[in-house]
Chains A and B, each alone.
Chain A
Amino acid sequence: MARALFQQNGATVTSTLVPQQIEVFQERFTAVTREVGKRIVGHEPIVEATVTALLAGGHVLLEGIPGVGKTSLVHTLADVLHLKFSRIQFTPDLMPADIVGSHIVQEHPHGGGTFFDFQPGPIFANVVLADEINRATPKTQSALLEAMQDVSVTVGKTTFALDQPFLVLATQNPIEMEGTYPLPEAQLDRFFFKLRVQYPPEAAMHAILDRTTSIHDVVVGRVLDAAEILEMRQVARAVPIARPVQSYAVRLTLGTHAGSPYATPMVGRYVRYGASPRAAQALVLAGKIHALRDGRPFVSVEDIRAVALPALRHRVLLNFDGEAGQIDPDAIVGELLATLKAE
């Protein structure tokens, strides 16, 4: 499909790159979700959002009751992506060194004394499953901060870069709160999306039983490697976004702050702190990927609205009234989406 697109120095330049890139992006994205869907049933939106976060370079916090397939989803995704996968089961006695690694004393094989050798922890992987992350102490949870933000780990005086792509998939149980340590705001803000894994519907339950209780194991193929993921990341960032659409993302973010001109009554009453600029980044990046999934080379307001809930719900911090009234942040964001119109 040759198209005349540019006039550069008086000459017409033809390009077929952009439509091809979009087409490839769509194919790869569809391939990943299709392969994950072979094993994970009834959670298509969760799968798509997880892949979106992966392609945006973000991390995902999965929240759901036990047994709905959170860990299985992460396992399957790691299998499909052909990436190095590690799992960390967070417990109260887990220490930061158990995550990032530590220096140990070793003897030279040929004699001559000992030396400190760094043994990397499970964080040195492409896909890290932080299972039940809220069961570890804040000290241990904070061990993930640098890795999630800077994709690097500092041990002692040495900083180790992590391999790209790097994706942290954390899970937490919202009902068993005893003996847990809620994630601090700084930790929460570093998650690109917060996804709520619900009970699968009845039809999906049948499919789950059929696939997991028979002798035939479901095998998923590896459809995407690290290089392809990084390439897709670059394609996603190249999607242009018009200023009016970006303005909508900004106003949506500012609307989560009490006292903002875009704030809704619920925001003013129940919100202590609103979303940070990371939220706006997440909205725009996720919107771009959402547009590419549909084969569009531009971002629309609808793309922003589609990704607003997972990008904002964990960044809206409730005040005392909100906590006491058990106000759902989704209701606050939903009201904001219903109120805020595109210019």
Chain B
Amino acid sequence: MAPLSSSGARIREAVESADRARRTREAWTWAKKAAPLVAAVSAAACLTARAAGAPTTWALVTLLAPAAALISIIAVVYRPRPASDVTAARSDVDAGLRGELRSAHWFAAQESVDEWTAWHMDRAASTAADVAWNAVYPKPKLRRALAFSIVLLVAAVAIPLRGSAVVPAPAGPRAGAVSLDELALTNASPELQQLVLDAAAAVLARRMSASEALKGLEQSADWRALDPSVRRRVDEALRRIALDDQTATGRPAPDPPGATAEQAEWAREELAARLATEQAQKKTEPEAPKNSERESKEQAGATEESSDGQGGEGSKFKSNQVQREVPDGKGDPSAAMIDPSGPASGEAGTGFGGKHGDPTYRRAQQAAIEAAFKRELVEASTNVGSNERTNDRRRQTEQSASSLDHARTPGRSIYDRANVDTTATVPEARLPWLERYFSRTEQR
């Protein structure tokens, strides 16, 4: 005897419906608990991403990943499953069917049944069909949790979109950062113009450092015949390109090799100092041709004597640079201060001697820096909203450098041992004397 196929099918269908309703309720209950938490975590992640300056895409990923995980889990919980005796028993207990559905579901899987079993299954199918499974497994109320989650999700979406404003914009086209007009190279030979442009492009592309590019230019006869002021402009422009590239990309520039943050800062200070010197010399020395000749001589001397860093006043920048890159003791400021015959009025920290120790020169330098600072401010105020990114960067750099130098100048103009940052190094030859001085033997 075989039961009506409809009875078994109806029982299985009822069990599957019950199981689906139960899992739906479980999924919604789980979502009710997890959705606000996931939304809060997403909002927090987006807020953190914005504070850390991460890209907008990263913040959106932190939003979408938990949402995708939530949807996946709900889908897994809600996926259709074949009805089993266990699920039938569970639904039977939940609906209060007193074991009828469970028993009938087991008999529905049997091949042959007797009269009693067939009637039992028919009765169970009718009973199960009358059960409103959605009432047995009501869905939880999600209004409050849903509203809270939506608010948090909107916040999570809004945060990265607002956050994109503070994310540094990618560097724009920098090929136009160097123009021949700006460098006053319009009168130079076409070969030299092309050479300078190639060097700038190489520095911009990070194929070589600014110093390497300048060394390459030094090999050109046209370059050496060029006016020193023009060459200095090209020098500054190349270093600026390197600095802009470093600022825009956030990666350390390759120039100079092994450069440190301190050296980069010093380079900026040097740039500001040179500008200030020019301004001061224009004001105090009206004889431009003589000055120009003198600078030409100084530059030549610097070129000749830059290997040992012991050049004259005109080569002070180059010699200072050598002192910082290779602290071999020759330019050690502390050694100069300890030496009684040395320039004790110089800066203790930087080791500046010569005219840097002269108060008159310091005051002139300070005035020049202030003038340059004012000029930059005027330029910046007139170029508000402009697209001259390179000029803006240079201005910001020089402003910061000049203000920093301006603050330092008064305190370091007079030597005071209390203001010495580093402890003076005791020469090796004097150590035994010091030990004998402080460690006296006991007198008997």
Contacts and interface: CB of A to CB of B under 8 A. Distances in A.
A333 to B, nearest CB: 21
A296 interface: yes
A335 to B, nearest CB: 22
Nearest to A298: B103
A12 B1 CA distance: 11
A296 B98 contact: yes
Given A245-B99, A297-B120, A297-B123, A4 B114 contact: no
Contact of A243 (B99, B106, B113, B117): B106
Interface in B104-134: 104, 106-107, 113-120, 122-124
Give the contact-size bracket for chain A.
Answer: 20 to 34
A299 interface: yes
Interface in A13-45: 15, 17-19
Given A6-B1, A244-B106, A300 B119 contact: no
B99 A5 contact: no
B89 interface: yes
A298 B1 contact: no
A265 B86 CA distance: 27
Given A15-B119, A298-B100, A244 B1 contact: no
Contacts of A238: 114, 116
Contact of A300 (B5, B86, B100): B100
A343 B84 CA distance: 11
B89 A5 contact: no
- At the interface, is chain B mostly helix, strand, loop or mixed? helix
Contacts of A239: 116
Interface string B315-356: 000000000000000000000000000000000000000000
B120 A240 contact: yes
A214 B120 CA distance: 49
B20 interface: no
Interface residues of B, number: 27
Interface in A96-136: none
B295 interface: no
Given A6-B1, A7-B2, A7-B4, A242 B107 contact: yes
A3 B119 contact: yes
B280 to A, nearest CB: 96
Given A4-B4, A242-B106, A302-B98, A343 B119 contact: no
A125 B98 CA distance: 39
B102 interface: yes
B357 interface: no
Contact of A244 (B4, B85, B113, B119): B85
B116 A19 contact: no
B2 A298 contact: no
A95 interface: no
Contacts of A298: 99-100, 103-104, 120, 124
A302 B114 CA distance: 23
Contacts of B160: none
Contacts of B119: 3, 5, 15, 18-19, 297
A230 interface: no
B3 interface: yes
A19 B118 CA distance: 12
A301 interface: yes
A241 B100 CA distance: 11
Contacts of B102: 242, 244-245, 300
A223 B304 CA distance: 137
24 contacts: A3-B119, A5-B3, A5-B118, A6-B3, A7-B2, A7-B3, A8-B1, A8-B2, A12-B4, A15-B119, A17-B115, A18-B116, A240-B116, A240-B117, A240-B120, A242-B102, A244-B85, A245-B102, A296-B98, A297-B123, A298-B99, A298-B104, A300-B100, A301-B99
Interface of A: 3-8, 12, 15, 17-19, 238-245, 296-303, 342-343
Interface of B: 1-5, 85-86, 89, 98-100, 102-104, 106-107, 113-120, 122-124
Given A6-B118, A238-B116, 11 more contacts: A3-B119, A5-B4, A7-B2, A8-B1, A18-B119, A240-B103, A297-B119, A297-B120, A298-B99, A301-B99, A343-B86
